[in-house]
Amino acid sequence: MNKYSNFFANLICQSVKFNRSWSAVYSLRFYRTNVKIKHEPKARWEEGNSNNGIKWTTLEHKGPLFPPEYEPLPNNVSFFYNGNPIKLSLPAEEVATFYAKMLDHEYTTKSSFQENFFTDWREEMTVEEREQIKKLSKCDFTHINKYFLDKSEEKKAMTKEQKQVLKEENNKLTEEYGFCELDGHREKIGNFRVEPPGLFRGRGEHPKMGKMKKRIQPEEITINCSKGSNIPVAPKGHRWRKVQHDNTVTWLASWVENVQGNFKYVMLNPSSKLKGEKDWQKYEVARKLKLKVETIRRLYREDWKNREMKTRQRGVALYFIDKVFKNLKLFMENKEPEDDLFDRINTTYLNKYLNQSMPGLSAKVFRTFNASTTLQEQLNKLTTADMSLEEKLLSYNRANRAVAILCNHQRAAPKTFEKSMQNLQDKIAQKQQQLDVAKKELKEAQKEHKKGGTERTRKLVEKTESVVKRLEEQLKKLQLQMTDREENKVIALGTSKLNYLDPRISVAWCRKFNVPIEKIYNKTQRDKFAWAIDMTEEDFQF
DNA sequence: TCTTAGACTTGTGAAGAGCACT
DNA sequence: AGTGCTCTTCACAAGTCTAAGA
Protein backbone atom coordinates (compact mmCIF):
# COMPACT_ATOMS: atom_id res chain seq x y z
CA MET A 1 0.00 0.00 0.00
CA ASN A 2 1.69 3.18 -1.09
CA LYS A 3 1.14 6.72 0.05
CA TYR A 4 -0.81 7.49 -3.05
CA SER A 5 -3.56 5.02 -2.38
CA ASN A 6 -3.48 5.84 1.33
CA PHE A 7 -4.11 9.39 0.43
CA PHE A 8 -7.07 8.52 -1.71
CA ALA A 9 -8.35 5.96 0.70
CA ASN A 10 -8.28 8.65 3.32
CA LEU A 11 -10.29 10.98 1.16
CA ILE A 12 -12.83 8.26 0.58
CA CYS A 13 -13.06 7.48 4.27
CA GLN A 14 -13.68 11.11 5.05
CA SER A 15 -16.58 11.18 2.74
CA VAL A 16 -18.65 8.27 3.89
CA LYS A 17 -21.67 10.49 4.24
CA PHE A 18 -21.02 11.90 0.85
CA ASN A 19 -20.84 8.42 -0.60
CA ARG A 20 -24.13 7.46 0.85
CA SER A 21 -25.90 10.45 -0.53
CA TRP A 22 -24.33 10.33 -3.94
CA SER A 23 -27.03 8.71 -5.96
CA ALA A 24 -29.84 10.61 -4.37
CA VAL A 25 -28.84 14.24 -3.99
CA TYR A 26 -25.23 15.33 -4.07
CA SER A 27 -25.17 16.97 -0.74
CA LEU A 28 -23.33 20.22 -0.66
CA ARG A 29 -23.10 20.45 3.08
CA PHE A 30 -21.65 17.01 3.47
CA TYR A 31 -18.95 17.78 1.04
CA ARG A 32 -18.01 21.11 2.52
CA THR A 33 -17.64 19.59 5.98
CA ASN A 34 -15.50 16.92 4.49
CA VAL A 35 -13.27 19.37 2.74
CA LYS A 36 -12.42 20.97 6.01
CA ILE A 37 -11.70 17.71 7.77
CA LYS A 38 -9.61 16.63 4.83
CA HIS A 39 -7.07 19.39 5.29
CA GLU A 40 -6.55 18.78 9.01
CA PRO A 41 -4.27 15.98 10.18
CA LYS A 42 -1.78 15.21 7.48
CA ALA A 43 -0.44 12.29 9.46
CA ARG A 44 -3.52 10.35 8.45
CA TRP A 45 -2.10 9.80 5.00
CA GLU A 46 0.68 7.84 6.53
CA GLU A 47 -1.57 5.74 8.75
CA GLY A 48 -2.24 2.23 7.65
CA ASN A 49 -5.69 2.49 6.22
CA SER A 50 -8.63 0.20 6.65
CA ASN A 51 -9.64 0.80 3.08
CA ASN A 52 -6.89 -1.20 1.39
CA GLY A 53 -7.87 -0.20 -2.09
CA ILE A 54 -11.38 -1.59 -1.77
CA LYS A 55 -13.61 -0.21 -4.49
CA TRP A 56 -17.01 -1.64 -3.56
CA THR A 57 -18.80 -3.96 -1.17
CA THR A 58 -21.53 -5.31 -3.41
CA LEU A 59 -21.62 -5.54 -7.18
CA GLU A 60 -24.28 -7.21 -9.28
CA HIS A 61 -24.75 -7.14 -13.05
CA LYS A 62 -25.96 -9.16 -16.05
CA GLY A 63 -22.60 -9.61 -17.73
CA PRO A 64 -21.65 -8.12 -21.11
CA LEU A 65 -23.86 -8.13 -24.18
CA PHE A 66 -22.53 -10.09 -27.15
CA PRO A 67 -22.69 -8.86 -30.72
CA PRO A 68 -25.16 -10.71 -32.98
CA GLU A 69 -23.98 -13.85 -34.76
CA TYR A 70 -22.72 -13.51 -38.29
CA GLU A 71 -25.46 -13.29 -40.87
CA PRO A 72 -24.45 -15.03 -44.13
CA LEU A 73 -24.70 -13.09 -47.37
CA PRO A 74 -27.72 -13.83 -49.55
CA ASN A 75 -27.01 -16.11 -52.50
CA ASN A 76 -27.19 -13.35 -55.05
CA VAL A 77 -24.28 -11.46 -53.50
CA SER A 78 -20.90 -12.76 -54.58
CA PHE A 79 -17.24 -12.43 -54.01
CA PHE A 80 -15.23 -12.57 -57.23
CA TYR A 81 -11.75 -13.93 -57.72
CA ASN A 82 -10.06 -13.26 -60.98
CA GLY A 83 -13.45 -12.35 -62.38
CA ASN A 84 -15.19 -15.53 -61.26
CA PRO A 85 -17.80 -15.69 -58.51
CA ILE A 86 -16.82 -17.85 -55.55
CA LYS A 87 -19.06 -19.00 -52.74
CA LEU A 88 -16.89 -18.75 -49.64
CA SER A 89 -17.11 -20.85 -46.51
CA LEU A 90 -18.85 -19.02 -43.71
CA PRO A 91 -15.76 -18.07 -41.65
CA ALA A 92 -13.91 -16.84 -44.73
CA GLU A 93 -16.97 -14.99 -45.93
CA GLU A 94 -17.34 -13.16 -42.63
CA VAL A 95 -13.77 -11.86 -42.76
CA ALA A 96 -14.27 -10.88 -46.39
CA THR A 97 -17.23 -8.73 -45.39
CA PHE A 98 -15.05 -6.87 -42.86
CA TYR A 99 -12.80 -5.79 -45.69
CA ALA A 100 -15.64 -5.19 -48.14
CA LYS A 101 -17.32 -2.80 -45.72
CA MET A 102 -14.14 -0.71 -45.57
CA LEU A 103 -13.54 -0.44 -49.29
CA ASP A 104 -14.06 3.34 -49.41
CA HIS A 105 -11.79 3.86 -46.43
CA GLU A 106 -8.23 5.06 -46.79
CA TYR A 107 -7.06 2.09 -44.76
CA THR A 108 -7.62 -0.32 -47.64
CA THR A 109 -5.13 1.61 -49.77
CA LYS A 110 -2.29 1.02 -47.30
CA SER A 111 -0.06 -1.92 -48.06
CA SER A 112 0.48 -3.07 -44.47
CA PHE A 113 -3.28 -3.04 -43.95
CA GLN A 114 -3.76 -5.15 -47.08
CA GLU A 115 -1.01 -7.58 -46.21
CA ASN A 116 -2.13 -8.09 -42.62
CA PHE A 117 -5.69 -8.57 -43.70
CA PHE A 118 -4.80 -11.02 -46.42
CA THR A 119 -2.59 -13.13 -44.17
CA ASP A 120 -5.23 -13.35 -41.45
CA TRP A 121 -8.00 -13.93 -43.94
CA ARG A 122 -6.22 -16.86 -45.51
CA GLU A 123 -6.06 -18.47 -42.12
CA GLU A 124 -9.83 -18.49 -41.96
CA MET A 125 -10.12 -20.14 -45.37
CA THR A 126 -10.61 -23.80 -46.10
CA VAL A 127 -7.73 -25.67 -47.74
CA GLU A 128 -9.42 -25.42 -51.13
CA GLU A 129 -10.06 -21.71 -50.76
CA ARG A 130 -6.48 -21.13 -49.76
CA GLU A 131 -5.40 -23.07 -52.79
CA GLN A 132 -7.51 -20.88 -55.02
CA ILE A 133 -7.20 -17.41 -53.52
CA LYS A 134 -3.57 -16.34 -53.59
CA LYS A 135 -3.50 -12.67 -54.46
CA LEU A 136 -5.43 -9.83 -52.91
CA SER A 137 -5.15 -7.87 -56.15
CA LYS A 138 -7.32 -10.47 -57.87
CA CYS A 139 -10.04 -10.21 -55.22
CA ASP A 140 -13.13 -8.21 -56.01
CA PHE A 141 -15.25 -7.17 -53.03
CA THR A 142 -17.23 -4.47 -54.79
CA HIS A 143 -20.37 -6.53 -55.05
CA ILE A 144 -20.37 -7.21 -51.33
CA ASN A 145 -19.56 -3.58 -50.67
CA LYS A 146 -22.56 -2.50 -52.71
CA TYR A 147 -24.79 -4.89 -50.80
CA PHE A 148 -23.89 -3.28 -47.48
CA LEU A 149 -24.24 0.24 -48.86
CA ASP A 150 -27.73 -0.62 -50.10
CA LYS A 151 -28.54 -2.09 -46.77
CA SER A 152 -27.62 1.05 -44.90
CA GLU A 153 -29.61 3.08 -47.42
CA GLU A 154 -32.58 0.89 -46.71
CA LYS A 155 -32.14 1.47 -43.04
CA LYS A 156 -32.06 5.21 -43.54
CA ALA A 157 -35.19 5.05 -45.62
CA MET A 158 -37.21 3.28 -42.96
CA THR A 159 -40.37 4.97 -41.75
CA LYS A 160 -40.52 6.77 -38.44
CA GLU A 161 -42.48 3.92 -36.92
CA GLN A 162 -39.97 1.30 -38.00
CA LYS A 163 -37.15 3.36 -36.59
CA GLN A 164 -39.07 3.77 -33.37
CA VAL A 165 -39.43 0.01 -33.03
CA LEU A 166 -35.68 -0.48 -33.44
CA LYS A 167 -34.99 2.24 -30.94
CA GLU A 168 -37.21 0.63 -28.37
CA GLU A 169 -35.59 -2.74 -28.82
CA ASN A 170 -32.27 -1.07 -28.26
CA ASN A 171 -33.52 0.71 -25.16
CA LYS A 172 -34.69 -2.58 -23.80
CA LEU A 173 -31.22 -4.06 -24.14
CA THR A 174 -29.64 -1.03 -22.52
CA GLU A 175 -32.15 -1.26 -19.71
CA GLU A 176 -31.23 -4.87 -19.15
CA TYR A 177 -27.47 -4.90 -19.70
CA GLY A 178 -26.50 -1.24 -19.41
CA PHE A 179 -26.81 -0.94 -15.66
CA CYS A 180 -25.38 -2.63 -12.62
CA GLU A 181 -25.98 -2.36 -8.92
CA LEU A 182 -22.98 -1.18 -6.96
CA ASP A 183 -23.25 -0.79 -3.20
CA GLY A 184 -27.01 -0.65 -3.51
CA HIS A 185 -27.06 2.03 -6.19
CA ARG A 186 -28.08 1.52 -9.78
CA GLU A 187 -25.19 2.74 -11.91
CA LYS A 188 -24.79 3.19 -15.64
CA ILE A 189 -22.18 0.99 -17.30
CA GLY A 190 -19.86 2.61 -19.81
CA ASN A 191 -19.26 -0.12 -22.39
CA PHE A 192 -21.45 -3.13 -21.75
CA ARG A 193 -21.09 -4.57 -25.26
CA VAL A 194 -18.34 -7.02 -26.14
CA GLU A 195 -16.31 -5.59 -29.00
CA PRO A 196 -17.50 -7.14 -32.27
CA PRO A 197 -15.05 -8.87 -34.62
CA GLY A 198 -13.51 -6.79 -37.38
CA LEU A 199 -10.24 -5.51 -38.75
CA PHE A 200 -7.88 -3.74 -36.40
CA ARG A 201 -7.74 0.00 -37.00
CA GLY A 202 -4.41 1.08 -35.57
CA ARG A 203 -3.63 4.78 -35.79
CA GLY A 204 -0.81 6.30 -37.78
CA GLU A 205 1.42 3.75 -39.46
CA HIS A 206 0.57 0.97 -37.06
CA PRO A 207 2.30 -2.26 -38.15
CA LYS A 208 -0.68 -4.38 -37.14
CA MET A 209 -3.38 -2.47 -38.99
CA GLY A 210 -5.74 -4.72 -40.91
CA LYS A 211 -5.18 -7.72 -38.70
CA MET A 212 -8.28 -9.60 -37.75
CA LYS A 213 -9.88 -8.88 -34.41
CA LYS A 214 -11.44 -12.18 -33.48
CA ARG A 215 -14.93 -12.75 -32.15
CA ILE A 216 -14.81 -13.05 -28.37
CA GLN A 217 -16.39 -16.16 -26.86
CA PRO A 218 -17.88 -16.32 -23.36
CA GLU A 219 -15.16 -18.86 -22.55
CA GLU A 220 -12.63 -16.02 -22.82
CA ILE A 221 -14.44 -13.64 -20.51
CA THR A 222 -13.79 -13.17 -16.81
CA ILE A 223 -16.72 -11.94 -14.77
CA ASN A 224 -16.18 -9.84 -11.66
CA CYS A 225 -19.05 -9.43 -9.21
CA SER A 226 -19.81 -9.86 -5.53
CA LYS A 227 -20.07 -13.21 -3.87
CA GLY A 228 -23.70 -13.39 -2.86
CA SER A 229 -25.05 -11.67 -5.99
CA ASN A 230 -26.93 -13.12 -8.92
CA ILE A 231 -24.07 -14.32 -11.10
CA PRO A 232 -24.55 -13.37 -14.75
CA VAL A 233 -25.64 -16.28 -16.91
CA ALA A 234 -23.44 -17.18 -19.87
CA PRO A 235 -25.17 -17.51 -23.27
CA LYS A 236 -26.79 -20.89 -23.91
CA GLY A 237 -24.33 -23.72 -24.36
CA HIS A 238 -21.44 -21.60 -23.09
CA ARG A 239 -19.73 -20.84 -19.84
CA TRP A 240 -17.49 -18.03 -18.58
CA ARG A 241 -13.78 -18.38 -18.43
CA LYS A 242 -13.91 -17.51 -14.78
CA VAL A 243 -16.10 -15.81 -12.21
CA GLN A 244 -14.20 -13.85 -9.57
CA HIS A 245 -15.12 -11.61 -6.67
CA ASP A 246 -12.32 -9.06 -6.49
CA ASN A 247 -13.50 -5.83 -4.90
CA THR A 248 -10.15 -4.09 -5.25
CA VAL A 249 -10.84 -3.48 -8.94
CA THR A 250 -13.66 -1.57 -10.62
CA TRP A 251 -14.33 -3.68 -13.70
CA LEU A 252 -17.29 -6.00 -14.25
CA ALA A 253 -15.90 -8.14 -17.04
CA SER A 254 -12.63 -8.48 -18.90
CA TRP A 255 -10.99 -10.36 -21.75
CA VAL A 256 -7.75 -10.30 -23.70
CA GLU A 257 -7.90 -8.95 -27.22
CA ASN A 258 -5.97 -11.00 -29.80
CA VAL A 259 -4.25 -8.36 -31.94
CA GLN A 260 -2.04 -6.72 -29.36
CA GLY A 261 -2.74 -8.95 -26.38
CA ASN A 262 -4.23 -6.05 -24.43
CA PHE A 263 -6.80 -6.39 -21.69
CA LYS A 264 -10.24 -5.06 -22.37
CA TYR A 265 -12.60 -4.14 -19.57
CA VAL A 266 -16.25 -3.46 -19.00
CA MET A 267 -16.36 -0.51 -16.60
CA LEU A 268 -18.75 2.08 -15.26
CA ASN A 269 -19.91 5.24 -16.99
CA PRO A 270 -18.19 8.52 -16.01
CA SER A 271 -21.41 9.61 -14.31
CA SER A 272 -21.03 6.87 -11.70
CA LYS A 273 -20.06 7.53 -8.13
CA LEU A 274 -16.92 5.44 -8.48
CA LYS A 275 -15.59 7.37 -11.45
CA GLY A 276 -16.83 10.72 -10.19
CA GLU A 277 -15.02 10.38 -6.90
CA LYS A 278 -11.84 9.40 -8.60
CA ASP A 279 -12.15 12.43 -10.84
CA TRP A 280 -12.70 14.70 -7.90
CA GLN A 281 -9.65 13.28 -6.15
CA LYS A 282 -7.58 13.84 -9.28
CA TYR A 283 -8.35 17.55 -9.10
CA GLU A 284 -7.70 17.67 -5.40
CA VAL A 285 -4.20 16.30 -6.00
CA ALA A 286 -3.67 18.91 -8.71
CA ARG A 287 -4.76 21.64 -6.29
CA LYS A 288 -2.27 20.39 -3.75
CA LEU A 289 0.40 20.66 -6.40
CA LYS A 290 -0.51 24.32 -6.69
CA LEU A 291 0.75 24.84 -3.16
CA LYS A 292 3.92 22.87 -3.74
CA VAL A 293 4.80 23.66 -7.28
CA GLU A 294 7.12 26.59 -6.61
CA THR A 295 9.29 24.47 -4.32
CA ILE A 296 9.35 21.62 -6.81
CA ARG A 297 10.31 24.01 -9.59
CA ARG A 298 13.09 25.57 -7.53
CA LEU A 299 14.44 22.13 -6.71
CA TYR A 300 14.49 20.85 -10.25
CA ARG A 301 16.20 24.00 -11.44
CA GLU A 302 18.87 23.44 -8.84
CA ASP A 303 19.18 19.86 -10.08
CA TRP A 304 20.26 21.13 -13.48
CA LYS A 305 23.61 21.96 -11.93
CA ASN A 306 23.92 18.83 -9.82
CA ARG A 307 27.17 16.86 -9.89
CA GLU A 308 25.37 13.58 -10.32
CA MET A 309 24.23 12.97 -13.88
CA LYS A 310 21.17 11.05 -12.79
CA THR A 311 19.89 13.94 -10.68
CA ARG A 312 20.67 16.35 -13.45
CA GLN A 313 18.65 14.31 -15.93
CA ARG A 314 15.85 14.13 -13.45
CA GLY A 315 15.83 17.91 -13.19
CA VAL A 316 15.63 18.38 -16.92
CA ALA A 317 13.02 15.68 -17.32
CA LEU A 318 10.85 17.30 -14.67
CA TYR A 319 11.16 20.59 -16.44
CA PHE A 320 9.84 18.97 -19.58
CA ILE A 321 7.03 17.31 -17.72
CA ASP A 322 6.09 20.66 -16.26
CA LYS A 323 6.47 22.75 -19.47
CA VAL A 324 6.64 20.63 -22.71
CA PHE A 325 4.90 17.57 -21.77
CA LYS A 326 4.54 15.82 -25.08
CA ASN A 327 8.26 15.86 -25.73
CA LEU A 328 9.00 13.86 -22.63
CA LYS A 329 7.25 10.88 -24.06
CA LEU A 330 9.17 11.29 -27.24
CA PHE A 331 12.44 11.42 -25.36
CA MET A 332 11.66 8.55 -23.07
CA GLU A 333 10.01 6.14 -25.44
CA ASN A 334 12.39 6.18 -28.38
CA LYS A 335 14.98 4.25 -26.52
CA GLU A 336 17.44 3.67 -29.30
CA PRO A 337 20.64 3.13 -27.29
CA GLU A 338 22.61 5.75 -29.12
CA ASP A 339 20.09 8.56 -28.91
CA ASP A 340 18.53 7.93 -25.53
CA LEU A 341 18.60 11.36 -23.94
CA PHE A 342 17.63 10.29 -20.45
CA ASP A 343 19.61 7.11 -20.11
CA ARG A 344 19.96 7.22 -16.34
CA ILE A 345 16.33 7.58 -15.40
CA ASN A 346 12.91 6.14 -16.26
CA THR A 347 9.30 6.99 -15.60
CA THR A 348 9.08 4.72 -12.58
CA TYR A 349 12.02 6.49 -11.00
CA LEU A 350 10.60 9.92 -11.79
CA ASN A 351 7.20 9.15 -10.40
CA LYS A 352 8.78 7.77 -7.28
CA TYR A 353 10.67 11.01 -6.83
CA LEU A 354 7.53 13.04 -7.45
CA ASN A 355 5.55 10.97 -5.00
CA GLN A 356 8.15 11.77 -2.38
CA SER A 357 7.81 15.48 -3.07
CA MET A 358 4.08 15.27 -2.60
CA PRO A 359 1.78 12.32 -1.93
CA GLY A 360 -0.20 11.38 -5.01
CA LEU A 361 2.03 13.35 -7.36
CA SER A 362 2.94 11.77 -10.69
CA ALA A 363 3.87 13.20 -14.08
CA LYS A 364 0.37 13.56 -15.41
CA VAL A 365 -0.73 15.68 -12.45
CA PHE A 366 1.31 18.53 -13.91
CA ARG A 367 -0.87 18.49 -16.98
CA THR A 368 -4.06 18.66 -14.94
CA PHE A 369 -2.56 21.34 -12.74
CA ASN A 370 -1.31 23.49 -15.61
CA ALA A 371 -4.56 23.15 -17.54
CA SER A 372 -6.83 23.99 -14.64
CA THR A 373 -4.62 26.84 -13.45
CA THR A 374 -4.66 28.35 -16.93
CA LEU A 375 -8.43 28.13 -17.19
CA GLN A 376 -8.86 29.82 -13.83
CA GLU A 377 -6.44 32.62 -14.72
CA GLN A 378 -7.93 33.20 -18.12
CA LEU A 379 -11.49 33.24 -16.84
CA ASN A 380 -10.56 35.74 -14.15
CA LYS A 381 -8.85 37.88 -16.73
CA LEU A 382 -11.37 37.72 -19.54
CA THR A 383 -14.74 37.99 -17.83
CA THR A 384 -16.45 41.05 -16.43
CA ALA A 385 -19.92 41.29 -14.94
CA ASP A 386 -21.17 43.85 -17.46
CA MET A 387 -20.74 41.53 -20.44
CA SER A 388 -23.70 40.12 -22.30
CA LEU A 389 -24.30 36.39 -22.08
CA GLU A 390 -22.81 35.87 -25.53
CA GLU A 391 -19.70 37.86 -24.66
CA LYS A 392 -19.23 35.82 -21.52
CA LEU A 393 -19.51 32.63 -23.51
CA LEU A 394 -16.92 33.85 -25.96
CA SER A 395 -14.63 34.59 -23.01
CA TYR A 396 -15.19 31.12 -21.66
CA ASN A 397 -14.42 29.50 -24.96
CA ARG A 398 -11.32 31.63 -25.29
CA ALA A 399 -10.14 30.53 -21.87
CA ASN A 400 -10.86 26.93 -22.83
CA ARG A 401 -8.94 27.45 -26.05
CA ALA A 402 -5.92 28.80 -24.21
CA VAL A 403 -5.86 25.50 -22.35
CA ALA A 404 -6.33 23.38 -25.47
CA ILE A 405 -3.43 25.19 -27.11
CA LEU A 406 -1.31 24.63 -24.01
CA CYS A 407 -2.12 20.92 -24.10
CA ASN A 408 -1.60 20.79 -27.85
CA HIS A 409 -5.09 19.55 -28.61
CA GLN A 410 -5.13 20.27 -32.29
CA ARG A 411 -7.51 18.97 -34.89
CA ALA A 412 -7.74 19.03 -38.64
CA ALA A 413 -9.99 21.86 -39.75
CA PRO A 414 -13.50 20.42 -40.24
CA LYS A 415 -14.22 19.47 -43.84
CA THR A 416 -17.19 21.78 -44.00
CA PHE A 417 -15.45 24.66 -42.25
CA GLU A 418 -15.20 27.08 -45.16
CA LYS A 419 -18.72 26.42 -46.21
CA SER A 420 -20.26 26.89 -42.82
CA MET A 421 -18.19 30.02 -42.39
CA GLN A 422 -19.60 31.34 -45.64
CA ASN A 423 -23.11 30.53 -44.47
CA LEU A 424 -22.57 32.53 -41.33
CA GLN A 425 -21.08 35.35 -43.35
CA ASP A 426 -24.20 35.43 -45.53
CA LYS A 427 -26.43 35.46 -42.52
CA ILE A 428 -24.52 38.40 -41.12
CA ALA A 429 -24.74 40.31 -44.36
CA GLN A 430 -28.45 39.69 -44.49
CA LYS A 431 -28.87 40.84 -40.92
CA GLN A 432 -26.85 43.96 -41.64
CA GLN A 433 -29.13 44.78 -44.52
CA GLN A 434 -32.22 44.36 -42.38
CA LEU A 435 -30.66 46.59 -39.81
CA ASP A 436 -29.91 49.31 -42.36
CA VAL A 437 -33.50 49.25 -43.52
CA ALA A 438 -34.79 49.40 -39.98
CA LYS A 439 -32.52 52.32 -39.16
CA LYS A 440 -33.81 54.23 -42.13
CA GLU A 441 -37.36 53.60 -41.06
CA LEU A 442 -36.52 54.79 -37.59
CA LYS A 443 -35.09 58.04 -38.89
CA GLU A 444 -38.17 58.70 -40.94
CA ALA A 445 -40.45 57.95 -38.03
CA GLN A 446 -38.47 60.31 -35.84
CA LYS A 447 -38.67 63.01 -38.46
CA GLU A 448 -42.39 62.65 -38.79
CA HIS A 449 -42.82 62.64 -35.05
CA LYS A 450 -40.84 65.88 -34.73
CA LYS A 451 -43.00 67.58 -37.35
CA GLY A 452 -46.23 66.95 -35.58
CA GLY A 453 -46.09 64.58 -32.65
CA THR A 454 -49.22 62.51 -32.26
CA GLU A 455 -49.88 59.35 -30.32
CA ARG A 456 -49.58 57.40 -33.56
CA THR A 457 -46.14 58.78 -34.53
CA ARG A 458 -44.82 58.35 -31.00
CA LYS A 459 -45.83 54.71 -31.06
CA LEU A 460 -44.26 54.25 -34.45
CA VAL A 461 -40.96 55.66 -33.21
CA GLU A 462 -41.02 53.32 -30.23
CA LYS A 463 -41.78 50.35 -32.38
CA THR A 464 -39.05 50.97 -34.92
CA GLU A 465 -36.63 51.71 -32.13
CA SER A 466 -37.20 48.30 -30.61
CA VAL A 467 -36.85 46.65 -34.02
CA VAL A 468 -33.48 48.32 -34.51
CA LYS A 469 -32.37 47.30 -31.06
CA ARG A 470 -33.38 43.70 -31.61
CA LEU A 471 -31.60 43.50 -34.93
CA GLU A 472 -28.46 45.03 -33.47
CA GLU A 473 -28.39 42.42 -30.78
CA GLN A 474 -28.90 39.63 -33.26
CA LEU A 475 -26.13 40.97 -35.44
CA LYS A 476 -23.76 41.19 -32.50
CA LYS A 477 -24.58 37.63 -31.56
CA LEU A 478 -23.83 36.36 -35.03
CA GLN A 479 -20.56 38.24 -35.14
CA LEU A 480 -19.49 36.75 -31.82
CA GLN A 481 -20.42 33.33 -33.09
CA MET A 482 -18.28 33.87 -36.14
CA THR A 483 -15.26 34.99 -34.12
CA ASP A 484 -15.65 31.94 -31.90
CA ARG A 485 -15.84 29.56 -34.81
CA GLU A 486 -12.93 31.13 -36.62
CA GLU A 487 -10.72 30.91 -33.55
CA ASN A 488 -11.77 27.32 -33.04
CA LYS A 489 -10.86 26.17 -36.53
CA VAL A 490 -7.94 23.92 -35.64
CA ILE A 491 -8.45 23.57 -31.89
CA ALA A 492 -10.28 20.68 -30.20
CA LEU A 493 -11.80 21.67 -26.87
CA GLY A 494 -13.35 18.36 -25.92
CA THR A 495 -10.42 16.51 -24.43
CA SER A 496 -9.30 19.27 -22.11
CA LYS A 497 -12.82 20.06 -21.03
CA LEU A 498 -13.50 16.45 -20.22
CA ASN A 499 -10.20 15.42 -18.70
CA TYR A 500 -8.07 18.31 -17.51
CA LEU A 501 -10.25 21.17 -16.36
CA ASP A 502 -11.52 21.04 -12.81
CA PRO A 503 -15.27 21.36 -13.43
CA ARG A 504 -15.64 23.34 -10.23
CA ILE A 505 -13.87 26.25 -11.93
CA SER A 506 -16.52 26.32 -14.63
CA VAL A 507 -19.41 25.79 -12.25
CA ALA A 508 -18.26 28.59 -9.98
CA TRP A 509 -17.80 30.85 -12.97
CA CYS A 510 -21.34 30.09 -14.15
CA ARG A 511 -22.74 30.87 -10.74
CA LYS A 512 -20.75 34.04 -10.34
CA PHE A 513 -21.62 35.45 -13.73
CA ASN A 514 -25.12 34.11 -13.92
CA VAL A 515 -24.52 31.88 -16.91
CA PRO A 516 -26.78 28.83 -17.18
CA ILE A 517 -24.66 25.72 -16.76
CA GLU A 518 -26.21 24.19 -19.90
CA LYS A 519 -24.38 26.81 -21.96
CA ILE A 520 -21.08 25.31 -20.86
CA TYR A 521 -21.80 21.62 -20.37
CA ASN A 522 -24.10 19.39 -22.40
CA LYS A 523 -26.12 16.57 -20.87
CA THR A 524 -23.33 13.98 -20.74
CA GLN A 525 -20.91 16.49 -19.33
CA ARG A 526 -23.38 17.56 -16.69
CA ASP A 527 -23.83 13.93 -15.71
CA LYS A 528 -20.12 13.38 -15.49
CA PHE A 529 -19.60 16.54 -13.45
CA ALA A 530 -22.67 16.15 -11.27
CA TRP A 531 -20.44 16.10 -8.20
CA ALA A 532 -18.99 19.48 -9.06
CA ILE A 533 -22.30 21.03 -10.06
CA ASP A 534 -23.71 20.10 -6.71
CA MET A 535 -20.88 21.04 -4.42
CA THR A 536 -19.47 24.21 -5.92
CA GLU A 537 -20.28 27.75 -4.84
CA GLU A 538 -19.43 30.88 -6.72
CA ASP A 539 -16.34 31.71 -4.69
CA PHE A 540 -14.49 28.53 -5.60
CA GLN A 541 -11.01 29.11 -6.97
CA PHE A 542 -8.80 26.34 -8.21
C1' DT B 1 17.24 -2.63 -11.82
C1' DC B 2 14.65 -3.69 -15.69
C1' DT B 3 10.46 -5.60 -17.73
C1' DT B 4 5.84 -6.87 -17.96
C1' DA B 5 1.01 -7.43 -16.39
C1' DG B 6 -2.90 -5.30 -15.19
C1' DA B 7 -5.91 -1.43 -14.31
C1' DC B 8 -7.42 2.72 -15.41
C1' DT B 9 -7.38 7.40 -17.99
C1' DT B 10 -7.04 9.96 -22.19
C1' DG B 11 -7.47 10.82 -27.27
C1' DT B 12 -9.83 10.62 -31.51
C1' DG B 13 -12.56 8.90 -35.49
C1' DA B 14 -16.99 7.86 -36.85
C1' DA B 15 -21.83 6.72 -36.39
C1' DG B 16 -26.09 8.51 -34.84
C1' DA B 17 -29.42 12.00 -33.36
C1' DG B 18 -31.42 16.16 -33.83
C1' DC B 19 -32.33 20.32 -36.08
C1' DA B 20 -32.77 24.00 -39.55
C1' DC B 21 -33.69 24.77 -44.09
C1' DT B 22 -36.01 24.00 -48.49
C1' DA C 1 -40.42 14.81 -46.56
C1' DG C 2 -35.84 15.12 -47.87
C1' DT C 3 -31.18 17.13 -47.32
C1' DG C 4 -27.28 18.77 -45.21
C1' DC C 5 -25.04 20.29 -41.22
C1' DT C 6 -23.71 20.21 -36.29
C1' DC C 7 -23.43 18.37 -31.99
C1' DT C 8 -23.57 14.24 -29.14
C1' DT C 9 -22.45 9.75 -28.12
C1' DC C 10 -20.16 5.59 -28.91
C1' DA C 11 -16.30 2.74 -29.85
C1' DC C 12 -11.97 1.56 -29.18
C1' DA C 13 -6.99 2.59 -29.61
C1' DA C 14 -3.32 4.59 -27.07
C1' DG C 15 -1.16 6.35 -23.04
C1' DT C 16 -0.04 6.43 -18.00
C1' DC C 17 0.92 4.45 -13.80
C1' DT C 18 1.81 0.92 -10.11
C1' DA C 19 3.09 -3.42 -8.51
C1' DA C 20 4.98 -7.67 -9.12
C1' DG C 21 8.17 -10.68 -11.25
C1' DA C 22 12.68 -11.81 -13.23
Which option is the CATH number for A79-160: 1.10.10.41, 1.10.630.10, 3.40.50.2000, 2.40.160.10? 1.10.10.41
Q: pTM (2 decimals)? A: 0.85
CATH 2.170.11.10 domain locations along chain A: 60-67+166-266
Q: Using CA atoms, how far apart are residues A505 and A515, in angstroms rounded to an integer?
A: 13
A409: nt with nearest C1' to CA: B11
Q: Please tell me whether any atom of strand B lies within 7 Å of the Cβ of A431.
A: no
Instruction: Give the C-alpha separation, A399 to A188, whole Å.
Output: 32
> What stretch(es) of chain A map to CATH 1.10.10.41?
79-160
For the CA of A172 and the C1' of B3, the distance in angstroms is: 46
Report the nearest residue to nucleotide B16, CA vs C1': A156
Q: Using 50 as the pLDDT threshold, list the residues of chain A that sit under it.
A: 1-50, 325, 327-339
Strand A222-224 relative to strand A242-244, pairing:
parallel
User: What is the C-alpha separation between A178 and A175, in angstroms, rounded?
Assistant: 6
pLDDT of amino acid A431: 87
Residue type, A514: N
Active site residue ranges of A: 500
Q: Which residues of chain A are in CATH 1.10.132.10 domains?
A: 369-535
Closest residue by Cα to the C1' atom of nucleotide B11?
A495
Q: For residue A175, which phi and psi values (nearest 5 degrees)?
A: -60, -40
Beta strands in A347-403 (DSSP E): none
**A482 CA from C4 C1′ (Å):** 20
DSSP string for A15-62 = THHHHHHTTT---HHHHHHHHHHHHS-THHHHS--TTTT---S-EE--
The strand ranges marked E within A198-309 are 198-199, 212-213, 222-224, 242-244, 253-256, 263-266
Over the stretch A21-49, which tens digit does the pLDDT of each residue have? 232 222 222 222 232 223 322 222 233 33
Closest CA to the C1' of B9: that residue is A499
CATH of domain A369-535: 1.10.132.10
Superfamily of the domain at A60-67+166-266: DNA Topoisomerase I, domain 2 (2.170.11.10)
Percent of chain A with pLDDT over 90: 58
pLDDT value at position A261? 94
pLDDT given at position A340? 55
Q: Which nucleotide is nearest to A67 (CA to C1')?
A: C11
